[in-house]
Amino acid sequence: MADTFSLQRVLETFRSSLSENKEVYIKYYISGWKELVSFMNSLGNVFSFISKDVVCKIQILENFLSGENGSHYVTIQSMVKYELENDLVDLTKRSSHPESGCRTLLRLHRALRWLELFLEKLRTSSEDSKTSVMCSDAYNESLAHHHPWLIRKAVGVAFCALPGRNTFFDVMNAGDHTQVVALLGESLPLISEVYQITEDLYAKNNLLELP
Ligand code: 1PX
């Protein structure tokens, strides 16, 4: 992962995460998240409690991927099959498998919906739109449903520290603002596709509410 964020690289990682038969490679999925974490870190320390959580979840998945059963963690599809067939998922309450791959990835998956909504708002925003409002609207429409009050409050405080739209576009490192908007238009269908494939897979296996 390079130090400077680039929206182009996020686009590339999500593109690489889709296999020919529409399975999702965990390796690239988490690379996409690593890029996003580096972006968030560049926005300041207020966001570190968020990035710490993402980094922790990335680490759990990387450990599975490099562990002795790593071959089962190549795609989200193979992970779900392997963990379910071997009773490695706590389905109703956290007990013997509190940090399964399935429940860990579900947290990132829900956050991907936030990202999709936020980027779409950003793409269609006007110059006087506020990033903090777009961010919190996207949050309230998605992730907030899964977070307790205290987290929602802390997240609300962090949103207020977001830079304005112009700075935001600059930090994305994707050229002038028209180019950023074009790149967002290119990225969003990919992000949506990865999201939808995962959503359908989790829904089919009744995994959308994993504790
Ligand atoms: C191109 C620019 C886009 C900006 C990229 C920013 C990336 C943001 C990534 C946010 C990912 C958040 C993952 C949260 C996972 C989660 O829900 N974790 C909670 C549940 O986990 P548990 O193991 O306890 O069941 C956990 O409690 C979370 C704690 C931290 C709060 C997470 C708040 C997420 C807010 C999302 C908005 C981020 C705004 C960043 C602004 C750029």
Give the C-alpha separation, 15 to 110, whole Å: 19
Question: 29, 134, 147, 167: which to mutate for ligand 1, most atoms within 8 A of CB?
Answer: 147
139: CA distance to ligand 1 center in Å?
9
Give me the phi and psi of 142, to 5 degrees please: -135, -95
Please state the domain extents for the chain: 7-91+101-201
pLDDT at residue 3, as a whole number = 59
Q: Which of 43-57, 98-112, 133-147 has the lowest mean pLDDT?
A: 43-57
pLDDT at 2 over 70: no
3-state secondary structure 21-69: CCCEEHHHHHHHHHHHHHHHHCCCHHHHHHHHHHHHHHHHHHHHHHCCC
Q: DSSP E strands: which ranges in the chain? A: none
Token pair, residue 2, equals 């390079």
104: CA distance to ligand 1 center in Å?
12
pLDDT at residue 44, as a whole number = 84
Q: Which CATH number fits domain 7-91+101-201: 3.40.50.720, 1.10.3520.10, 3.40.50.300, 3.40.50.2300?
A: 1.10.3520.10
- Atom of ligand 1 at shortest range from CA of 56: 23
ipTM at complex level: 0.96
Mean pLDDT of the chain: 95
Q: What is the pLDDT of residues 150-189, one digit of tens each?
A: 999 999 999 999 999 999 898 888 899 999 999 999 999 9
